[in-house]
Structures are given as C-alpha cells and as structure tokens.
Amino acid sequence: MISVDAEGGEAFRLLVESVEDYAIFLLDPAGHVLSWNLGAHRIKGYTPSEIIGQHFSVFYTPEERAEGRPMNLLRQAAENGRVEDEGWRVRRDGTRFWADVVVTALLDGDGAPTAFAKITKDLTARRAAEQRDRTLLAEQRARVAAEEALMTRDRFLGIASHELRTPVASLQLAIEGLEHARAAGRLDDGRIEVGLGRMSASVARLGALVAELLDVSRLESLEGPFNPTPIDLVELAREVLARFGDAGHVERLRLDAPPRAPMTADASQLDQLITNVIDNALKYSEPPAPVEVRIVADEDGVALTVADEGIGLDAAAQERLFEAFGRGENVAHAGGMGLGLYICRQIVDRHRGRISVQRRANAPGTLVRVWLPNRVAATDG
C-alpha cells in the first residue's frame, strides 16, 4: 500500500512529469484524471488541458466501457492494493494500441483510497513482433508438414508401385498363359482352372490393396460413419476367427475369452481392427505357429491381446509400425502397404482406447495389446 500527503503528492508529480516511455498519471477515487505526464501525452495523444478532469474510461474501447471494465479495475485495486491488466486501449485520434497497465491504490491513514496511480506501457510494437514470430513459426511448421507430406507421398508411391506391380504382373502372366495355350490348341479344363485360380488370387490381392487405401482415406478424414451400438466383443471376435478359419487358418487360431464381453462401440470398425491385427500376426509368423487371441473384460473396459510366434521386432520399430506405411523387419516376406496397424490406431483413437505392440517377454514373436472403454458416444468419433 502507498500513503501520500500534499508534499508527497507534489514530489510524485515532479518525478513522473519527465518520464516519456510510460504514461503515469493520477485518478481521483471516481476515476477522473488528476495529473498527466509527457509519456501519457506521447502514448495517448491528449494534452493536459484536454484530459485532466475527464473520466479515464475514455481510454477504453466501447465494448469494455459497456461491460463496466474501467471501474471494475479501480474496485479491484481498492480491494487488493493494485491490479494489473493488458488489452486494447484507445488514443485521442481513435486508434487503438495494446497496453500493459498497473493501477495502484493510494491510501490515507485509514486505508481508504484517496487516489489511484495508473501506469501504462505501450506494447503494440512488441505484440506485433510476437505476432510476426508466431506467424513465421506457423509458416515454418506448415513448410515442414508440406515436406513431410511430400516424403510420405513419395514413400507411398514407391511402396504402392511395388505392391501393385506384383498382382498385376501375375494377372498378366495368367492371361498370357491361357492365350498361349489356346493358340497352341492345348487349352483344356485343367489349364483353364489353373489360370482362373491365378487370376482370382491376383484380383483378390489388388482388391485388398485398394481397400487398405480407401480405409485410410476414410479414417483420416473422419468422414466415415461412426455408429457405436451395443455389441458383444467375444461374439464379434468369433465371427472374425471363423472367416480366417474358412480361409485355411483354423488350426493356427486360438481364442481365450469369457462367454461374453458386452460393450458399446462401432461394430464394423472393431471387426476391421480385429481382422487387421490377426492378419498381421498371421503374415509375420510361419505356419503352423499359433496365433493366440485373448479377451479380458472388467467394469471399465475390454482388453484384447493377439500374440504370435514370429520373428518379433526391435524397440525402435514399435512406434513406426503405427505410422502410415510403417512395416516390420521381414517386409519382403510379408509384403503389404504397411497400413494395417496404422488403420488400427485410427480406429482405437476414435474409440478413446489404447493400442501397443511389443516383443513377447518369455516367448518368440510379437504381442499386440488393445484396450477399449466399455462405452463410447457417437460424438467421440
């Protein structure tokens, strides 16, 4: 707290009159200007004869005056001894400047405010410089993001061209083989069956690659439907395992789960999540090594783990596998775009869950862990 008398007030006036970098002036208890220094004239534009006696609310924007902000600051200064503020202020010519303000209550012997000392610093230039710095930083980040996007595009083109070339080449060879056999008069049922089988496998591979790309596009834009409904995760997992069983993997798949694991989630996306994780485990482990699926449910959520006995992965690869086009060590063996686990993370994020992948501790292979809350709202996606 600051106490002043007549002699102290005169000393204060002489002290502050010559300061030019700060507007320093006194207000009476009602907020009328009592004194004016050179800094106040330079910053705010008023001469002493123009401003002394006027209410200090003229320095505030119409919006702040309507809200009662000027007098609210004086009340805070009276209650707390001082108050600091920062915001737009208005000069005599109507232009605005960004100000840093300190209002200090000058108290009498009984602790009542006899005046207020107001110190204002013009921070417009500094704020403009900070804004320029923020703009430059945003531009730098945008450039980095653009460069990363170009690198991702180039990486995608390289992987996609390689992965798409293989089934296209197989399809072309199958067609050429049938045409050659027909021209030679050797196009019997056996050759037709073999050729159609090769073409069917190639078309299926092309369809899977295109589906991966479409899934990523839909999930990244979050434009795809997100429809959480009551489901049973155990029932859903059994349906996915049955499809893999029909494709010839029934002997490798094992499920350890309770009778039911009810939850609220998007069934189609969790179907895709389970499918991708199991497909990844099958690709990265050699038959007849098993793939073990385990589900544990409690009152908070559901945990799904998928363990394989493949070659595993190093620590550096764990996070990379969740990136777009991130793949493990045995790329040549497994093939693919490297989008399966990336899609899984997008699905888990939409469900407000967690997913991780790590090398198994006491066995060969990899362990994928997924945790999902029991309930998720449509707005969460």
Question: What's the chain's average pLDDT?
Answer: 84
Measured CA to CA, the distance from residue 250 to residue 253 in angstroms comes to 6
Task: Write the CB contacts of 214 (distance below 8 Å, at least 6 apart in sequence).
Answer: none
Which of residues 287 and 151 earns the better pLDDT score?
Answer: 287
In degrees to the nearest 10, what's the CA dihedral of 214, 271, 285, 370?
Answer: 110
> Is residue 339 a contact partner of residue 216, using CB atoms and an 8 Å limit?
yes
- CATH for the stretch 129-221: 1.10.287.130
Identify the sign of the CA torsion 80, 86, 88, 90.
positive
> Is residue 352 a contact partner of residue 228, using CB atoms and an 8 Å limit?
no
Task: Write the CB contacts of 155 (distance below 8 Å, at least 6 apart in sequence).
Answer: 325
Same fold for the pair 2-122 and 129-221:
no
Instruction: Give residue 13's pLDDT.
Output: 63
Highest mean pLDDT among 18-27, 167-176, 186-195, 261-270: 261-270
Give this prediction's pTM.
Answer: 0.50
Instruction: Give residue 165's pLDDT.
Output: 74
As a whole number, mean pLDDT of residues 355-370 equals 88
Measured CA to CA, the distance from residue 278 to residue 287 in angstroms comes to 14
65-84 pLDDT, tens digit per residue, is 999 999 999 999 999 999 99
Instruction: Give residue 208's pLDDT.
Output: 73
Percent of the chain residues past pLDDT 70, beyond the cut: 81
Instruction: Give residue 5's pLDDT.
Output: 52
pLDDT at 23 exceeding the cut of 90? yes
Instruction: Give residue 313's pLDDT.
Output: 67
154-169 pLDDT, tens digit per residue, is 766 666 666 677 778 7
pLDDT at 216 exceeding the cut of 90? no
Task: Write the CB contacts of 351 (distance below 8 Å, at least 6 apart in sequence).
Answer: 228, 265, 266, 269, 270, 372, 373, 376, 380, 381
- CATH for the stretch 229-380: 3.30.565.10
Measured CA to CA, the distance from residue 319 to residue 358 in angstroms comes to 9
Q: Which residue, 140, 92, 123, 108, is CA-closest to 22?
A: 123
What are the structural domain ranges in the chain? 2-122, 129-221, 229-380
> Is residue 340 a contact partner of residue 211, using CB atoms and an 8 Å limit?
no
- Domain 2-122 fold is Beta-Lactamase (3.30.450)
> Is residue 367 a contact partner of residue 306, using CB atoms and an 8 Å limit?
yes
Which of residues 291 and 11 earns the better pLDDT score?
Answer: 291
Q: How confident is the model at residue 332 (pLDDT cuts 50, 70, 90)?
A: very low
Beta strands in 283-324 (DSSP E): 291-297, 301-307
Position 101: which residue type? V
pLDDT at 27 exceeding the cut of 90? yes
Instruction: Give residue 333's pLDDT.
Output: 45
As a whole number, mean pLDDT of residues 138-160 equals 77
pLDDT at 178 exceeding the cut of 90? no
Cβ burial 91-124 (10 Å sphere, 16+ → b, else e)? eeeeeebbbbbbbbbbbeeeeebbbbbbbbbbee
